[in-house]
Homo-oligomer: A and B are copies of this chain.
């Protein structure tokens, strides 16, 4: 029988552009090495999966506040350091272009092409008032149990 695939799991908790980049760079690297890779998006990390255009949704007051105040997509995220009211992300995107590196939306696209398993945490979606219509189409929805199932067999498990 063939050897089992190695597993890499990442909890993406952070809503920062740089941290999400690190998560997706590791995930894409692991997928290229034929690991089975899962990124479990929870809390502010869910914003990486938001799409800017979506149907109008009925929301309560706090849910509207969160939706308005959180970054509206991966491309809109700020930096964990040196954000400078939005200048930091512009600087980073400029150097990414200059060095022919990949932007966060490109890294996410690549992860999908490599069959990285993108999961949105349903419990924190509820808390932040995010609905499936606001998130990308080809992702999965699950809770902490599904994450633990993967992670307990994982070779590399990270919380970012």
Residue interface mask A1-33, B partner, CB < 8 A = 1: 000001010010111001100100110011001
Q: Does A96 contact B (CB under 8 A)?
A: yes
Q: Which of B29, B30, B101, B160 contacts A159 (CB 8 A)?
A: B160
Asked if A144 meets B26 with Cβ closer than 8 Å, knowing A66-B91, A69-B82, the reply is: yes
A91 to B62, Cβ gap below 8 A? yes
**Copies per complex of this chain:** 3
A152 to B101, Cβ gap below 8 A? no
Q: Does A92 contact B (CB under 8 A)?
A: yes
Residue interface mask A40-66, B partner, CB < 8 A = 1: 001110000000000000000011011
A139 to B69, CA, bound (A): 38
Q: List 20 A-B contacts (CB under 8 A).
A: A11-B22, A13-B18, A13-B19, A13-B160, A14-B80, A18-B43, A18-B44, A22-B42, A25-B144, A26-B144, A29-B147, A33-B148, A35-B148, A63-B95, A66-B82, A70-B82, A92-B127, A95-B128, A95-B129, A154-B156
